[in-house]
């Protein structure tokens, strides 16, 4: 197969992100015909149709989704090449620098990342973190990494996304950072919290806790499903029900709730990092992983 040049990769990414050849041309400062010609050439080199063309624009085929994700990752390597070469053999101080793109689910972005990033930027002032909060639904944070939109993701490794199913199958590398137990959280002082209705949140739906939940005859079906765990915690504090939440979510608990452990057989979730093999070897990602691993409970 003939290799795709960097400018061809940029065209593929632009078409996917803008949803059409005309919009991609405007972004790149090219003509629409030039973009169309480039895409056709890339499809010929790859040997697959990468975009479905229609009246409303262009959308990636499954082959196109994969190609665009790899294109982003390859272009990212071009971006960091200079910094990596200059910092080779010197992974301390100002030699480590550049943009570091991180995707994390809400409670990890709120509680796990800030202290690690604070230490990281204190040791390496040249690093500029960019953090995006991504819901752990569908592809989740691991999907952002696989698609080349993040250098590293903080993910729930025993969830349902690509990192949870099999990081290797998605071409990703994973590492466990912490294991945290779920607990029963209920209105403070309630005499019979297990009799309360169950509150749940979207990101918890269909996840690693469900097998355990199904085996507990005291847990009723959820009567309220909120958008995130913080909303669930607030509703519990208002006396609207009980919930089963992991430790990171419970860091925001107030005196309005009581927290009861679920015992040694209760569900536990693994929180870890997800990255690509090429990003894992870069100085900035290695530096962040070191700080995340040094985080104390």
pTM of the full structure: 0.84
Whole-number pLDDT of residue 165:
47
Per the DSSP assignment, residues forming a β-bridge with 155 are 272
C-alpha 9 chain-centroid distance: 23
Instruction: State how far the alpha carbon of 115 is from the alpha carbons of 19, 102, 229, 246, in Å.
Output: 38, 14, 21, 19
Token pair 């973190």: residue: 129
DSSP string, 123-173: H-TEEEEEEEE--SSTTHHHHHHHTTS-SEEEEETTSSSHHHHHTTTTT-E
CA distance 175 to 236: 33
Mean of pLDDT values over 131-156 = 93
Whole-number pLDDT of residue 84:
78
Out of 156-165, 203-212, 288-297, pick the least confident: 156-165
On whether the CB atoms of residues 182 and 246 are closer than 8 A, the answer is yes
Whole-number pLDDT of residue 89:
63
Mean of pLDDT values over 146-156 = 95
What are 103-123's pLDDT values in tens digits? 999 999 999 999 999 999 999
Out of 78-92, 124-138, 272-286, pick the least confident: 78-92
Per-residue confidence at 170, pLDDT binned at 50, 70, 90?
Answer: low
CA distance 114 to 98: 18
Instruction: State how far the alpha carbon of 83 is from the alpha carbons of 79, 89, 271, in Å.
Output: 8, 12, 29
Q: Which residues contact 231 (CB under 8 A, 6 or more apart)?
A: 201
Whole-number pLDDT of residue 166:
45
Token pair 């990003």: residue: 279
* Mean of all residue pLDDT scores within the chain: 88
Whole-number pLDDT of residue 86:
75
Whole-number pLDDT of residue 208:
59
Say if residue 171's pLDDT is above 80. yes
């Amino acid at each position: 197969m003939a290799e795709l040049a960097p400018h061809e990769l940029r065209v593929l990414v632009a078409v996917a992100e803008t949803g059409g050849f005309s919009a991609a041309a405007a972004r790149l400062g090219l003509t629409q015909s030039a973009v169309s010609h480039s895409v056709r050439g890339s499809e010929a080199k790859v040997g697959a149709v990468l975009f479905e063309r229609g009246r409303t624009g262009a959308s990636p085929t499954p082959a196109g989704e994969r190609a665009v994700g790899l294109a982003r990752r390859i272009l990212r390597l071009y971006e960091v090449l200079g910094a990596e070469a200059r910092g080779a053999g010197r992974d301390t101080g100002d030699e480590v620098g550049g943009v570091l793109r991180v995707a994390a689910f809400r409670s990890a972005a709120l509680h796990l990342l800030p202290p690690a990033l604070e230490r990281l930027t204190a040791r390496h002032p040249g690093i500029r973190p960019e953090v995006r909060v991504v819901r752990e639904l569908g592809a989740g944070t691991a999907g952002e990494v696989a698609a080349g939109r993040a250098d590293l993701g903080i993910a729930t490794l025993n969830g349902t996304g690509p990192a949870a199913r099999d990081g290797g199958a998605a071409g990703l590398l994973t590492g466990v950072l912490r294991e945290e137990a779920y607990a029963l959280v209920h209105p403070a002082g309630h005499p019979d919290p297990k009799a309360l209705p169950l509150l749940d949140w979207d990101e918890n739906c269909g996840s690693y806790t469900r097998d355990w939940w199904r085996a507990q005859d005291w847990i009723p079906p959820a009567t309220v499903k909120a958008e995130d765990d913080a909303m669930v915690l607030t509703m519990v504090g208002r006396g609207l029900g009980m919930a089963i939440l992991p430790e990171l979510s419970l860091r925001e608990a107030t005196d309005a709730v009581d927290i009861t452990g679920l015992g040694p057989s209760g569900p536990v979730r693994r929180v870890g990092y997800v990255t690509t093999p090429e990003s894992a070897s870069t100085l900035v990602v290695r530096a962040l992983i070191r700080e995340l691993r040094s985080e104390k409970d």
